[in-house]
């Protein structure tokens, strides 16, 4: 493409040409070229003519203007210097309207203020880090849904276009930093055809109006960070917005005036000065950029630059743009190598920005795009080793020489036959990372069964008040969720949810929407927010409608698939094929943390199958299960292959929290933490005067409880909203209740952690606190008649027990403290009476173990017989020093049939009888 010849620009685009003041010339002038338009700053409005004939637009450095009824009164609303600038920008952008504001991000902020709660935005998956940060904010705080997709293919946006919902499509082309090309015209036409009310917005910073004018190709709004090419010298911050629609212009003008982020007069003057040289700067910069790109490509680096042959969508770019720009990027295959290259340059300045007359170099993943979390960067295909080059106006031979010396010093290239050549054996970290994701240890063999379990929880004190900053005390309960993974060899995965309609579902692994997923590499954390793109893909392509499934099944399957696709290996041949079967002794949906226990089981199994956690090696003289001095627990730990500071319990907890987010949207993290670690903890929400966070309650004594499922479903959101409304109506009354509950919690924590308090005194104190806590919950309006019926039953003679509701949302479950000396016949009588009233009681204890894994070592496992045989321990203990002692149960050990067929009332005992359980 001939990027220097712009003579026909104005003819092709019919841009206005300034006319001389004197009308004496009869012959009309030919349209000016773009470079002439850039250098010629005129405003046809006579009111903006300088009275002294200044050849440079004056700076009206004033905040206010005198008089009444004039065009200007306050510089926030309008300023002559800024008016000249905005007219000039509109002229070179094929626009009717232009606005100059304080920065490029300010421009995008103004544009996104056009959105309303409930609307949806489609954005690219290779975007500037600041753009991603702002979109994340509006998604979190404004109720706007944001879909990040690959916009290089027009058809990819079609599934996300929803008439009446899709309000904006946000594009960058070329993208930053991978220089992906978007077909603005095609996407604009598709959007207008399917969602006529949606606004197409283009970030044109990489090109500037000199090389690309998206309004000519169907875009509704275009914005630039004028800090970059329009200014060209990095001596000001500015943003510009252009459009041709009067309605959009009026809305944005109102926002700018209201917010007060219009560009200052002095910066407007500087920006006008910078634009005058835009054309000559860009011509020099992009011609040098081509030379740099050709050199890197010749050396064998993966180089991203639209001017190179074979660049994806190169023909699309050439159709809508007048040049290739001055930004390029390349990959080295090694993040550390890239860091050495960047550090070794001398002429290239290390900076997060671009568009300056000085050449700049950066690593986006640690600089301009560092605000995008690593998992999201990986999901969007942004290589951690990528280097971005922003070419300036220096002599190109100096730029090439400096870059070559940096590559040489960093060890990326060498000299052979008087020429530079790339070192072929440079370490490729991407390949190394992939290899590291593959299981290598025998005890992590995916062809082995894994039997895991996790406890539910009860909230002992602080329900509902926790939403308003009061501390809650939660403890694990001995009712548990159990999960068994059994290997399959048919490239399928399947799930059986025994307690949720006994639902069975299976999928072909290769048919899952892997194009929408990017697994989180080992050692890296999942993003704070869920991958909405992946969730949508699973729902739309891998699950039947929720109405076609038993209650709660849709969410359970969605959480399983989301976790599987986020944790599993990247290679198709490395994704585990297995059957996942779940049984629970916990009542589902009763406010006892059944979803957290399920999430913990999913996380534990997937982390084991994908070699992210493992069981510890046995010492050579470990005792057999029958040995009297056998330790009670074996603790699960990370394998030594990766230098990760956190142990596997925390790894399981992090992923269980991700699953909880899929199931509940915005969980506190209490349920999964109790499910993983067991025991008891106190939790305080952030955002209040009291210190937030979770604290384990040390020395928590195991307590016997009767849990009673009322079988009455509760609408948690509705109940919580009711308390909030009551607080609005009667703030002083509700605050006194909340303060009283906090006092109860504080007293309970002191009692539970007091080693000198007798057991009898502890139980008496807790009994009184339970009664007081529930009385306050009644005052808050969160109980219901079924729970009160349970309380009356348990408080009656001869039982006289203390009962309260449990569950952050009120749950459908009551908890009754059972003293140590409570007579067994009375307990059985009470249970029978509750069952007769159609309640479901469970006798259990709280404060026990967290997540567990059935040990795969033979020395820890009981002999597995046929189904008709009793479960018995080995007749003869395995010799401690033999190789057999350290061996694992083989893949032929099958628990599946007994897992499915054991009666519910016997299941917990059967599970515990299988051998040694390792608890985290």
Residues belonging to the active site = 76, 128, 203, 228
Distance CA 236, CA 542 (A): 50
Complete edge-to-edge strand list for the sheet that includes strand 327-331: 302-304, 327-331, 387-390, 360-362, 349-350
Q: Which two three-digit tokens encode residue 166?
A: 């899709």
> Residue 129, Cβ neighbours under 10 Å: how many?
20
Strands (E), 177-318: 199-203, 221-225, 239-243, 302-304
Distance CA 601, CA 590 (A): 19
Q: Which two three-digit tokens encode residue 910?
A: 């059967």
Strands 450-461 and 413-416 come out as unpaired
> Residue 865, Cβ neighbours under 10 Å: how many?
11
| Long-range contacts of residues 721-728, Cβ cutoff 8 Å, at least 24 apart | 722/781, 722/782, 723/464, 723/467, 723/468, 723/780, 723/781, 723/782, 724/467, 724/468, 726/780, 726/781, 727/468
Mutual orientation of helices 594-609 and 553-567 as an angle, nearest 10°? 30
Phi then psi for residue 170, to 5 deg, are -110, 120
Distance CA 416, CA 26 (A): 67
The answer, yes or no, to whether the previous bond of 28 is cis (omega within 30 of 0) is no
3-class SS at 146?
A: strand
Helices (H) and strands (E) in the chain — how many of each? Answer: 27, 27
> Residue 686, Cβ neighbours under 10 Å: how many?
10
Phi then psi for residue 375, to 5 deg, are -65, -40
Q: Are 292 and 400 in contact (CB under 8 A)?
A: yes
Q: Which two three-digit tokens encode residue 542?
A: 């891998």
Q: How far is CA 693 from CA 473, 530, 668, in A?
A: 12, 22, 10
| Cα within 13 Å of Cα(252), Cβ side | 27
Q: Which two three-digit tokens encode residue 765?
A: 């104190």
Q: How far is CA 339 from CA 295, 462, 562, in A?
A: 20, 51, 34
User: Angle CA(416)–CA(422)–CA(427) in degrees, nearest 5?
Assistant: 130
The answer, yes or no, to whether the previous bond of 174 is cis (omega within 30 of 0) is yes
Phi then psi for residue 284, to 5 deg, are -65, -45
Distance CA 823, CA 450 (A): 40
**In the chain, what are the helix, strand and coil shares in percent, each to the nearest 5?**
40, 15, 45
Q: How far is CA 837 from CA 469, 588, 786, 832, 844, in A?
A: 36, 20, 10, 9, 20
Distance CA 799, CA 827 (A): 8
Distance CA 169, CA 158 (A): 11
Distance CA 748, CA 770 (A): 9
Distance CA 337, CA 825 (A): 74
Residue 417 burial (C-beta neighbours within 10 Å; 0-12, 13-18, 19+): exposed
């Amino acid at each position: 493409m001939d990027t220097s010849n712009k003579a026909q620009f104005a003819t092709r685009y019919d841009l206005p040409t300034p006319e001389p003041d004197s009308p004496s010339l009869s012959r009309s002038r030919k349209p000016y070229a773009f470079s002439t338009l850039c250098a010629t700053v005129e405003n046809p409005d006579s009111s903006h003519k300088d009275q002294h004939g200044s050849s440079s637009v004056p700076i009206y450095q004033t905040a206010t203007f005198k008089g009444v009824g004039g065009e200007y009164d306050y510089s926030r609303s309008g300023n002559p210097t800024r008016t000249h600038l905005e007219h000039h920008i509109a002229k070179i952008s094929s626009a009717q309207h232009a606005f100059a504001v304080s920065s490029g991000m300010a421009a995008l902020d103004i544009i996104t203020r056009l959105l309303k709660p409930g609307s949806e935005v489609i954005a690219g998956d290779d975007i500037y880090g600041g753009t991603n940060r702002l979109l994340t904010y509006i998604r979190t705080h404004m109720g706007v849904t944001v879909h990040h997709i690959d916009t290089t293919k027009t058809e990819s946006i079609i599934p996300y276009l929803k008439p009446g919902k899709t309000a904006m499509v946000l594009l960058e082309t070329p993208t930053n930093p991978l220089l992906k090309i978007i077909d603005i015209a095609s996407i604009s036409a598709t959007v207008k055809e399917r969602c006529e009310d949606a606004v197409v917005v283009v970030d044109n910073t990489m090109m500037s109006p000199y090389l690309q004018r998206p309004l000519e190709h169907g875009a509704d709004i275009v914005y630039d960070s004028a800090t970059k090419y329009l200014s060209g010298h990095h001596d000001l911050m500015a943003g510009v917005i252009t459009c041709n629609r009067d309605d959009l212009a009026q809305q944005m003008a109102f926002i700018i005036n209201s917010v007060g982020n219009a560009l200052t007069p002095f910066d407007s003057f500087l920006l006008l000065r910078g634009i005058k040289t835009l054309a000559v700067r860009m011509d020099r910069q992009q011609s040098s950029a081509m030379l740099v790109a050709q050199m890197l490509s010749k050396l064998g680096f993966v180089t991203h630059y639209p001017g190179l042959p074979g660049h994806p969508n190169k023909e699309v770019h050439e159709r809508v743009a007048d040049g290739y720009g001055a930004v390029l990027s390349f990959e080295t295959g090694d993040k550390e190598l890239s860091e050495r290259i960047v550090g070794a340059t001398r002429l290239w300045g290390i900076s997060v920005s671009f568009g300056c007359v000085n050449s700049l170099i950066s690593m986006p993943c640690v600089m301009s795009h560092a605000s995008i979390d690593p998992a999201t960067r990986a999901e969007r295909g942004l290589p951690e080793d990528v280097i971005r080059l922003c070419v300036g106006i220096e002599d190109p031979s100096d730029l090439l020489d400096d870059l070559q010396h940096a590559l040489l010093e960093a060890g990326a290239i060498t000299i052979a036959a008087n020429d530079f050549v790339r070192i072929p054996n440079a370490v490729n970290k991407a390949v190394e990372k992939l290899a590291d994701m593959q299981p290598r240890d025998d005890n992590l063999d995916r062809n082995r069964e894994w039997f895991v379990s996790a406890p539910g929880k009860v909230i002992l004190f602080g329900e509902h008040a926790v939403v308003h900053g009061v501390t809650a005390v939660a403890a694990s309960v001995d009712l548990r969720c159990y999960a068994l993974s059994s290997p399959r060899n048919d490239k399928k995965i399947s799930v059986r949810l025994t307690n949720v309609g006994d639902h069975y579902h299976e999928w072909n692994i290769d048919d899952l929407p892997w194009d929408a997923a990017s697994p989180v590499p080992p050692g890296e954390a999942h993003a704070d927010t869920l991958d909405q793109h992946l969730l949508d893909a699973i729902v739309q392509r891998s699950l039947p409608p929720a109405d076609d499934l038993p209650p709660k099944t849709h969410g359970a399957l969605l959480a399983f698939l989301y976790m599987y696709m986020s944790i599993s290996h990247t290679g198709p041949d490395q994704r585990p094929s297995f059957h996942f079967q779940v049984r629970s002794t916990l009542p589902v949906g009763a406010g006892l943390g059944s979803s957290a226990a399920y999430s913990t089981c999913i996380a534990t199994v997937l982390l084991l199958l994908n070699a992210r956690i493992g069981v510890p090696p046995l010492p050579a003289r470990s005792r057999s299960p029958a040995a009297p001095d056998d330790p009670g627990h074996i603790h699960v730990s990370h394998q030594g292959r990766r230098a990760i500071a956190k142990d596997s319990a925390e790894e399981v907890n992090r992923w269980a929290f991700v699953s909880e987010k899929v199931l509940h949207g915005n969980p506190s993290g209490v349920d999964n933490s109790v499910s993983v670690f067991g025991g008891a903890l106190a939790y305080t929400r952030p955002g209040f005067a009291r210190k937030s966070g979770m604290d384990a309650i040390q020395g928590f004594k195991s307590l016997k409880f009767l849990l009673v499922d009322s079988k009455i479903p509760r609408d948690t959101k509705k109940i919580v909203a009711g308390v909030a409304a009551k607080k609005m109506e009667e703030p002083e009354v509700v605050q006194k209740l909340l303060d009283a509950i906090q006092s109860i919690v504080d007293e309970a924590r002191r009692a539970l952690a007091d080693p000198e308090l007798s057991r009898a005194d502890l139980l008496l104190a807790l009994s009184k606190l339970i009664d007081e806590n529930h009385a306050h919950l009644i005052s808050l309006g969160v109980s219901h008649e079924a729970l009160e019926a349970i309380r009356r039953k348990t408080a009656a003679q001869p039982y006289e027990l203390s009962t309260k509701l449990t569950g952050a949302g009120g749950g459908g479950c009551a908890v009754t403290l059972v003293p140590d000396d409570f007579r067994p016949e009375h307990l059985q009588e009470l249970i029978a009476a509750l069952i007769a009233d159609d309640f479901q009681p469970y006798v259990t204890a709280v404060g026990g173990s967290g997540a567990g894994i059935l040990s795969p070592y033979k020395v820890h496992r009981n002999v597995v017989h046929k189904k008709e045989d009793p479960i018995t321990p080995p007749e003869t203990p395995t010799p401690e020093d033999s190789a057999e002692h350290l061996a694992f149960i083989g893949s032929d050990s099958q628990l599946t049939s007994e897992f499915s067929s054991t009666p519910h009332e016997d299941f917990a005992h059967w599970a515990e009888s299988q051998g040694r359980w390792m608890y985290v």
